[in-house]
Amino acid sequence: MDQLPLLDPPTVHDAPIGRPGPDCARRTLDGDLERSSTVTLKIGAALVALFVMLPVAGLAAMLLYAQTYATWPLGGGDMTVEFRLQLLSVTLLLVGSVVSCAVVLRRSLRRGWFALAVVGIGGLACISIGVKGIIEATGVDGLITALSWGVAATGVVLLLGASLGMAARVQAAHPHPG
C-alpha cells in the first residue's frame, strides 16, 4: 500500500516532469531542470535567429537577387542558365537549412529526444565554427571576430540547453528514492 503509482510525464506544455515524491508533490529538481532547459533553449533560439538564421536568409536573398543580373556582379562572365541554376540550388539549400533549423529548435522546446540531440550537435558545430572564426579573424577583421564570438556563444547556450533537457528527461525516467 505504500507504493505510489507510476505516472508518465505530463503532455501539458510547461508542466514539470517526473514522478510524485512521498508527499504526492512533483519533485522540484525535475521542474528546475526542465525550466532551466526551456529558458536556455529559448535564449539559444533567439541567438540562432540573430547569428545564424538571419545571415543565412540574407545570403539566400542576395543570391536570389544576383540571378537577375545579365553578368556576374563581382566581375567575370555572363550569367549562363547553368550558373543561374547553381545559384538557385544554393539558395534553396540555404532556405531549407533555415527552415529545418527553426523546426528542430521548435521541436526541442517540446522535449523531443532526437531534436535535443540535433540541437546539441548543432551547438557543437556552432562552437567549432565560432572558434575557427575567432582564430582566423582576430587582428584581421573586427566584425568577423565579433560575429564569431556570437556564434561560439550561441553554440555554448544550445549545448547547455540540450544537455539540461536530456538530463531532465533522464531524471524523470529514473527517479531516485527519497
The answer to which of 98-102, 124-128, 170-174 has the lowest mean pLDDT is 170-174
Per-residue model confidence (pLDDT) at position 178: 55
What's the CA gap between 168 and 89, in Å, rounded?
40
The answer to whether the beta carbons of residues 90 and 101 sit under 8 Å apart is: no
Q: Is the pTM of this model over 0.85?
A: no
Residue range 102-110: mean pLDDT, rounded:
77
Per-residue model confidence (pLDDT) at position 2: 53
Higher pLDDT, 168 or 72: 168
First to last CA, the chain: 17
DSSP class of residue 53? Answer: I
Q: Is 49 exposed, middle or buried (0-12, 13-18, 19+ CB in 10 A)?
A: middle
What's the CA gap between 131 and 125, in Å, rounded?
10
Q: Closest by alpha carbon to 7, among 178, 175, 177? A: 175
Residues in the chain, overall count: 178
Percentage with pLDDT > 70 across the chain: 78
Q: What confidence tier does 154 reach under pLDDT thresholds 50, 70, 90?
A: very high
Please count the helices (runs of H) and the strands (runs of E) in the chain.
Answer: 5, 0
Q: Distance from CA of residue 69 to its chain's centroid? A: 35
Could you tell me which residues come within 8 angstroms of residue 108 by beta carbon, excluding any fewer than 6 positions away? 41, 115, 116, 118, 119, 161, 162, 165
